[in-house]
Amino acid sequence: MAKWMSVAQVKEKIRESSAEEVTASYLEVIEKSKINGYVAVSEKAVEQAREIDAKGHEGPLAGVPIAIKDNISVVGMQNSCGSKILEGYVPPFNAHVIEKLQEAGAVILGKTNMDEFAMGSSTETSYYGPTANPWDLERVPGGSSGGSAAVVAAGEAPFALGSDTGGSVRCPAAFCGVVGLKPTYGAVSRYGVVAYANSLEQVGPLANNVTDIAVLMDVIGGYDRRDSTSIDRKTAYQEALVDDVKGLKIGVPKEFFGEGIHQDVEKAVWDSIHRYEELGASWEEVSMPNIKYALASYYIIAMSEASSNLARFDGTRYGFRDRGENWHSMVSATRAEGFGTEVKRRILLGTYALSAGYHDKYYLKALKVRTLVKQDFDRALSKVDVLMAPTMPNPAFKKGEKIEDPLTLYLSDVNTCPINLAGVPSISVPCGFTDGLPIGLQIMGKPFDEPTVLRTAYTFEQNTDYHTKRPPEVA
Amino acid sequence: MVYENPDGIRIGLEIHVQLNKLKTKMFCGCSSDYHNSAPNTHTCPVCLGLPGALPVLNRKAVEAAIKVGLALEGEIAEETQFHRKNYFYPDLPKGFQVTQYDYPIVSKGKVVIEGEDGEHVVGITRAHMEEDPGKLVHIGSIEKSKGVLIDYNRSGMPLIETVTEPDMRSPKEARRFLDKFRNILEYLDVFDGNLEGAMRVDANVSVYWGTRVEIKNISSHKGVERALLYEIMRQKNVIRRGGKITQETRHFDEGRGVTLSMRTKEEAEDYRYFREPDLMPMRVSDWVPGIRETLPELPDAKRSRFIEQYGITDMHARSLTSKIMLADFYEGVCAKGADPKTAATWTADVFLGELNYRDLAISSYDGETIGFIHAKDPQVENSFKVSDMVELVKLFSEGKVSDRAAVEVIRSILDGTEEKTPLQIIEEKGLFKAEDDLVTKAVSETIAENAAAVQDYLGGAEKSLNFLVGQVMKKTKGTADAKTARELIIKELKG
Ligand SMILES: [Zn+2]
């Protein structure tokens, strides 16, 4: 069986054989994995596939296997968020997106590795060890949805769900040479997704091609009354897949091509923009002067929200618990032992930023910057249809290279996090290689204008072959 | 008369009220009717704070808060805004409480109470919405407890925290404010004060216009009055000895009736408030006119109407409107043809007095029956029928029973185990007022049989008259009217 299949190919395979067989074949591939992409493989996957076979393949994803990031609640499966502190925590409820997937007939293969509580860009901070980049096993897959991107790139799942707080879907998509979408804030329900920074994050799909992204969005997108930030609005994602960019206006924000950008990345992105020009689009440079403050604003807001979100992990009700003489010492011991260094760092920084005396200086200021960044996007996107820039300024780095230097690691989010501050949709598509490592092109759009973003990405894909390249090491 | 407030006392209150009449909790669909349920049976991922669960604001809770705001004559916010108050405690499943911070749903209201010198206005600074934490249950006593159990049934219950200006000038005024405030909430039908933990009060108090001290978490109105009396005495003594009052938070020990220091200002916690990102503001300004229309008649308005419509005294009207269910009961009695003035006396003076004597708190009224529960033991229930009061008032108005007999009937109904009408009780106990000739006969007999007492009375010993009246009452088995008997004896002996 072919290792890398589109959803359409998987569905055809299911028709020819069965969902059970297709699921089993993926489980076989996973069994031989060299990348540590999965934290846990579902023991019920084959049984679920068998049930779907028995029911006669109803639903748009009947029998199609999918991998789920380990911060999305699935009944009966541990939801670890890559952390020791959630060891043994099995949610009694499904996330909204899981309900939608199950209604569509999808089969959950397993839970994928991630940076602890989604805090990282390399999937190295996971309690379950780092995940390898399928293109170079010595390198990181990006993060925090590194497991999801890597298993898709390695052919261990046709597609996957990740979550994107400051680039956590797009960064690993770029590093692993797959497609990843961060939808508009409010387009996909966050119900059941463990929060890192509530006001920034969205669940996002990862796949080998733009079509499958749209297929998945048609299933998981839409209003959910259990998420107050979910917007009641219908979007037809697959209908947007038209090979046509004639008349499309592209904005190129020079602020995204800043200091430290890898020259091959810069070249690949400009080549892509020129390719669009050949296909009938036009481009112009746009200025987004406040982007330079976005990274600082993003980290202050994300860490502040995180410091509060992660307060519930105290060993009292679920997950890991350490010993203590009384409740307070038990909580201290549990959190000291249960959280990794990066998580503790962010909790401390977030706590600091919200503290009396510093609140206005850091948190409030960060919120003001956020408003300015939003205005930059509004202004730029009032003149053009989409913005284009490198997803990541550099290709995947080596494991261990940046993990000891958090500031350098934070800098790698410079091009992805502004999008989360603004809440706009953004997709990363493969657009080239440097030394055998994939490069991602980031296409950003207006709020809820995923159709234009998807059409733009789809047209590129139809006219290039980067998305068909496979990592030789895991072939 | 103007109250001088000689000790410069200023009292402000912070009152947490559970909106326990709402069907569901504040941010989830869990039933709020948990008071008789096993621990942790009214919970879900949201109110347990499970990772990934998200709050959804209960519109009914917001409506109730707006109702309260309008009843307090406050300004209503344009939209709802929620913040997180961050602190660690085992009863707090998320590690933060969702509350309102710098934009409360209600601001600038007032409540008029009967103060030390007549009507007195207490300003309402603000009233905001928040969620209740769970409840800790100590195994054994707090001091010796081996462990703590947590019940999250209460977690996520909608609360309204109302903050007053420091406008009260005595513990009595604080008590009166709380009574009035509770009364208003019950009129709005958002709150049942009889349920455990329904109202918790923090009081701040200062003397000689000085530094204020906060007393946390007092659970009863009486407790507030006692705590304040103690704390004022303590502060005055500190100053008398040349000491200084420090700004601090104290705890009220109900058992010993004293306040004890918990923490000083320097140790004040930093709650790191920030906007709750999981809740979007809800525009409510358009709701206000509609909610205003549904506001019921409030205590002051009802009191004025009672005075005018039923011709009763201000004191009776005040007493009858002090509880919405009592007011409704009274109106039910009047509606069935009882004389309003007589009904007011019997309901406000006698009936209410008998309830207080028995420690019974009014807990329900369904149009026909008013129900009570024992204030200390809610399992003990009791009731009284409108029709019984109507019958009793009628019998009394028609002169068929004496007032003593009528009191006896009320007591029998409250203490009886069988259901009986007043008429049945009167018949069984032979409580009908004696016919006049019967009384006359008893008077003649008494005079004939008690020559010594008669002589004493005629000799100027007034006490002997009481003895003679007593004898008449004895002969008539209490059915005679004491006043009539007295008059008849005097007439017989002195002409
Ligand atoms: Zn609940």
Q: Let me know if residue A185 belongs to a domain.
A: yes
Of A283, A269, A281, A256, nearest in space to A383 by CA: A283
Q: pLDDT digit string (tens) for A291-304?
A: 999 999 999 999 99
How much is the pLDDT for B221? Answer: 86
How much is the pLDDT for B435? Answer: 66
Domain span including residue A54: 7-248+453-474
Say yes or no for a CB contact (<8 Å) between B277 and A304.
no
Say yes or no for a CB contact (<8 Å) between B52 and A81.
no
A 303-332 residues with CB < 8 A to B: 304-305, 307-308, 310-314, 316-318, 327-328, 331
B53 neighbors B200 (Cβ within 8 angstroms): no
Q: Let me know if residue A297 belongs to a domain.
A: no
Nearest to B277 among A92, A95, A198 (CB): A198
Q: Let me know if residue A176 belongs to a domain.
A: yes
CA A409 to chain centroid, in Å, comes to 17
Give the mean pLDDT of A103-127: 97
Give the mean pLDDT of A407-435: 96
Q: Let me know if residue A164 belongs to a domain.
A: yes
How much is the pLDDT for A46? Answer: 97
The token pair at A231 is: 């917007």
Pairing label, strands B248-253, B213-218: parallel
Helix (H) or strand (E) holding B388: helix B386-397
The token pair at A37 is: 């992409």
Give pLDDT < 50 ranges for chain B: none
Of A437, A454, A436, nearest in space to A445 by CA: A454
Sheet of B360-365: strand order equals B360-365, B369-374, B381-385
How much is the pLDDT for B82? Answer: 98
ipTM of the complex: 0.95
CA A195 to chain centroid, in Å, comes to 14
Return the higher-pLDDT residue of A123 and B465.
Answer: A123
Q: Report the CATH number that the domain containing residue A53 is assigned in CATH.
A: 3.90.1300.10
For chain B, what are the domain ranges? 10-290, 297-429, 436-494
Q: Let me know if residue A197 belongs to a domain.
A: yes
> Could you tell me the distance, in angstroms and rounded to a whole number, from the CA of residue B149 to the centre of ligand 1?
19
Q: Let me know if residue A285 belongs to a domain.
A: no
- A327 to chain B, minimum CA–CA distance in Å? 8
- A335 to chain B, minimum CA–CA distance in Å? 12
How much is the pLDDT for A153? Answer: 97
Q: What residue has token string 């892509």?
A: A272
Give strand ranges (E) for B341-439. 360-365, 369-374, 381-385
Domain count, chain A: 1
Return the higher-pLDDT residue of A453 and B144.
Answer: A453
Provide the whole-model pTM: 0.90
Distance in angstroms (rounded) separating the CA atoms of residues A164 and A298: 13
Q: Let me know if residue A419 belongs to a domain.
A: no
> Could you tell me the distance, in angstroms and rounded to a whole number, from the CA of residue B56 to the centre of ligand 1?
10
Apex A331 CA angle, A326 and A335, nearest 5 = 150
B50 — contact with chain A (CB < 8 Å)? yes
Nearest to B56 among A81, A197, A228 (CB): A228
Pairing label, strands B10-18, B199-206: antiparallel
Collapsing DSSP to helix, strand or coil, B220 comes out as: coil
Q: pLDDT digit string (tens) for A299-337?
A: 999 999 999 999 999 999 999 999 999 999 999 999 999
How much is the pLDDT for A379? Answer: 98
The token pair at A103 is: 């209604």
How much is the pLDDT for B268? Answer: 67
Give the number of C-alpha atoms closer than 13 A to the C-alpha of residue A108, restricted to the C-beta side. Answer: 28
Q: A312 contacts in B (CB within 8 Å)?
A: 49, 51, 93-95
- Phi/psi for B416 (5° steps) reads -75, 155
How much is the pLDDT for B324? Answer: 94
For residue A1, pLDDT beyond 60: no
A 414-453 residues with CB < 8 A to B: none
How much is the pLDDT for B447? Answer: 87
How much is the pLDDT for B267? Answer: 64
Give the mean pLDDT of A30-55: 96
CB proximity list for B186: less than 8 A, separation 6 or greater: B192, B193, B323, B324, B325
Catalytic residue annotation of A: 69, 144, 168
The token pair at B292 is: 């205003």
**Under CATH, what is the fold of the domain B436-494?**
Arc Repressor Mutant, subunit A (1.10.10)
For residue A245, pLDDT beyond 60: yes
Return the higher-pLDDT residue of B268 and A464.
Answer: A464
Apex A63 CA angle, A60 and A65, nearest 5 = 100
Pairing label, strands B360-365, A437-444: unpaired
Q: pLDDT digit string (tens) for A190-223?
A: 999 999 999 999 999 999 999 999 999 999 999 9
How much is the pLDDT for A215? Answer: 98
Q: Distance between terminal CA atoms of chain A? A: 12
Distance in angstroms (rounded) separating the CA atoms of residues A172 and B119: 70
Mean pLDDT, rounded, of chain A: 96
